[in-house]
Structure 1
Amino acid sequence: MTNSNGTAFENTEIYWPRTLRFWLLLIFDIPSIICSLFVLYHLLINRASRHALHNHTVIVLLSIALCFQLTDIPWYLDFIRKGSVRPQIQARCLIWWLVNLGFYNTVSLILAWTSIERHILVFHDQWTSTRKKRFFVHYLPLIVLILYSITYYTIVIFFPPCKHDYKYKLPVCAASPCHLFHPVLGVWEMGVHGCLSTIIVTFFSIALLLRVIHHKRRRHRVFRWKVYRKMIIQLLSISALYLLLNFPIMLFSVARFLGLPNHVGVQAQQITFFLTYWVMFLLPFVILSSLPGLRNKLYMIGLLKRQRRSTVTITMRRLINVQKNPLHCAYIG
């Protein structure tokens, strides 16, 4: 989709030097992978954490982010290193689109559901008091969302009602599968997966905060703040990260839909698109910061390592002193 007055988003590349992008992605991806593995391991290995309902969506979000970090980012780095998408086959672009677009928007959909579900877990916990209720209220919506996302993106990317244009000279093969320009699927993608998800996250996150403040002020109502504090802070932290980095690209999508010319603000749109990678990079750290038990454990591990290093250093110094002056040390002993 080119324009006589300029170049459209899908035909351009962000003007930031490739070397700069390479190091930015690499520097953030490695610690992000380590953090994702660390948090996932401790959420899954601990029985209480594994069975806590509010952790299930977090585990799914982290798993998707980890897959993204292990596939999309290395492919982007490989693109920069080789100067084009390699191998230059359609399957590479299709899978990359599935990861880049499908995984990212799946995170959006699940986060939207999470922002709704937290209201249930905090204020209507009786809705999940039995196994049957938990299945219909908690597990089923999450399963449906995951299956829907897998099915939808598999169909629109691998079996589209239009013809893809594979641009091997651009990152993520231009990140523009043809369904984004389809009169129906394009509106659905932008309206439901983009705008509606963002609106739901915004509205229900703010509503949760206001409801918590309201309940705490009503002294005659018992509100177990200490019990729900973790899951409330966790949602608000993740939502803030998502909205901060996703809102600008959503505004561009809406503006394009409302008639903003294709060539206007292309580089700004490219920058906002590139910055959405940091949703996946920072997500594990935000989740880690919302889990005080894990934070303390990580702190203790670091403290023990420092103590061990100090002990080893002192021991080595004593050994060196003994070797230098054995008679003096023997006399002192």
Structure 2
Amino acid sequence: MRQLYPAIEPLLQHSIPVQAPHVLHVEECGRLHGIPVVFLHGGPGAGCTPTHRRFFDPDRYRIILVDQRGAGRSTPHASLENNTTQDLIADLELVRAHLGIERWLVFGGSWGSTLALAYAATHPERVLGMILRGIFLCRDEDVAWFYQSGADRIFPDYWADYLAPIPENERGDLVLAYRRRLVGADELARMQAAKAWSTWEGRTATLRTDPATVDFFADPHHALAIARIENHYFFHGSFLRDNPLLAQADRFAHLEGEIIHGRYDVVCPIKQAFDLAAVWPKARLTVVGDAGHAVSEPGITDALIRATDRFAEQLGGHANGRG
């Protein structure tokens, strides 16, 4: 089993203003003249953590971590204003240009895989390849499985806590019911809803419930951004209903890729990975047999680091995205 690379600190940190009121937090780690790779975090709203720096060989990669609008150390925290998939794609282009990168490897998991695919479909000429984990296609049925009907049959005890803030007469559309509370003026109800929404995800993300993962998702600061921004996106069909990801596959099908997915992923069932692989012939699909959804699970970590090492060998002549 491959382990994470040793802990490292950022070489550079940037505060990059984008569309008002947002200012993005961006950090660079590793080797400034290495192969550029951009890390796209999940959620949307989860933000980057120091662990995310460690999936890449710091002697070979220029590692760029971007906290998306409203997430992590970007400001304003948990903001929904001017926050759409198309905005995030535009932000990535702005960051790429700001850092003087021509092309970069794109690495994303869960919602990060969604954003990676949407970005690659919009700007395929800027992508060296993609490493994607826990595929989330953000179709209405994918959201409904986890937030309305499906996953509740596997975790009925955790589901009961997810339902608790919502009166029975509003449970026919839980995304809408949560939206009313997450954007409402009642601060106590907003925080209660945020913790219930986010904790549901944290409890179910791993094959065996992991207390550290639950604690991260239940932390009030993280929970508010995760719940508000996820709910905002899912209420609006992730701003992808007019351009579903699979319908855009011809735009990125020529790119090299890695698809890594846990067999027992309850948050994003594995069929989404197979659906993507069916329209992306140059992607290699790896099924991790003893894992759920989380990037922290040993089999997922192992597969991701093997993938970044393979790309480092393949792209050795593409330092700074050139060549």
* Common fold by TM > 0.5: no
- TM-score for both structures, normalised by structure 1: 0.29
Q: Which gives a bigger RCO, structure 1 or 2 (Cα 8 Å, sep 6+)? A: 1
Bigger strand share? 2
- TM-score for both structures, normalised by structure 2: 0.29
